[in-house]
Amino acid sequence: MSGNRLPDIRELTRTEIEQFFLLNGGKKFRAQQVYDWLWKKSCHSFDDMTNLSQDTRHLLQDNFSYHRAEPEIRQKSSDGTVKTRFRLHDGLLVEGVLIPSGDRSTVCISSQVGCVLGCKFCATGQLGFMRNLTTGEILDQITGTFPGKISGSLTGKEDGPIRDSVSNIVFMGMGEPYLNYENVLNAIEKITSPEGLGMSPQRITVSSIGIPKMIRTMADDDPKYHFALSLHAPTDVKRDQIIPFNLKHPLSEVSDALKYYAQKTGKRFTIEYILFGNFNDSTEDASNLALFCRSFPVKVNIIEYNPVLNSGFTRSNPARIKAFVDFLEKRNMIVNVRLSKGKDIDAACGQLAGKQ
């Protein structure tokens, strides 16, 4: 085999890399060195593995490929947000976003190329689905979104490593994370492991449209990270119009799965709710949202709508937003209004589409 037909080394476990070295007359400890380069030092190629002999590096090159998501184009918003378009080994494109806040940053990463769900308000949904991202490609978005990243190290800024500059990582980019569950879970393990980026799982949030089966699976796996449900409409009548998936799995199924999650984990989760003008932003909608949320401990993030071509939706006006939020707060609900960043470079919520 050659080129892209060689197995991607980042798809192997450390044990499998150990077995490879033993079968090829090498030492077992070489696997740990390689593993550190792949996941802790975030190297760019086998040539970067400078504590390995040339013969060892050639052995790896002859037997494995190293498929990285390579930063191709960066755009900087007027508010400081940076969107990076990554080129994958097969030519496909995916986007990640760096959202600065003082000397810290939130990194918003993708889990798939495109998305199969086809939500009407989302630019990614208009692309259709191409494929899942690998564990390595997910990690590359974290290290690759920092413009100052130095090859072969985890330094993103002059004043410290990436893990110390990132306040949060959110799986809220392109794709549905729980339709790529295994790779997302593996990526989180690499992000949080001392042998990887060494970040706390409390700084990670995974957002999902709400797949009942996967919510239950996730609850059984006892997640240490945070979970967020992209709800956006509190009744089936309205959710059916914007989220086709809801036609197969109505809110009653989603609610039952959320009750299971709350009972199993004892954790509060987040409801994400985009306000669309004159669609889901009335006080009646707020009342229905409060009714939906009464069965589990939640906080609600109100998100402003970011324009997407041909969606047919508009942004809710400030008066309706205030009335909506006031209604929920009077019922003692925890509500945060999230202002979008990066709208001028199509980097805000719902706008990622890997444009050429």
Catalytic residue annotation:
95, 349
CA–CA dist 60, 47 (Å, integer): 10
- Burial label for 216, CB within 10 Å (0-12, 13-18, 19+), is middle
CA atoms within 13 A on the CB side of 254: 23
Both tokens assigned to 209: 């449209």
Contacts made by residues 261-267, CB under 8 angstroms, sequence distance 24+: 261/215, 261/216, 261/218, 261/219, 261/227, 261/296, 262/295, 262/296, 262/297, 264/219, 264/220, 264/222, 265/219, 265/222, 265/223, 267/226, 267/227, 267/297
| Structure-token pair, residue 342 | 């990066």
> 270 - beta bridge partners?
228, 299
Query: Contact at 8 Å (CB) between 124 and 353?
Result: yes
Tokens of 298: 């939640």
User: Which residues are registered as beta bridge partners of 207?
Assistant: 228
Pair of tokens at residue 134 = 């690998």
Q: What one-character DSSP code corresponds to residue 223?
A: -
Q: Which of 321, 313, 324, 323 is nearest to 339 (CA)?
A: 321
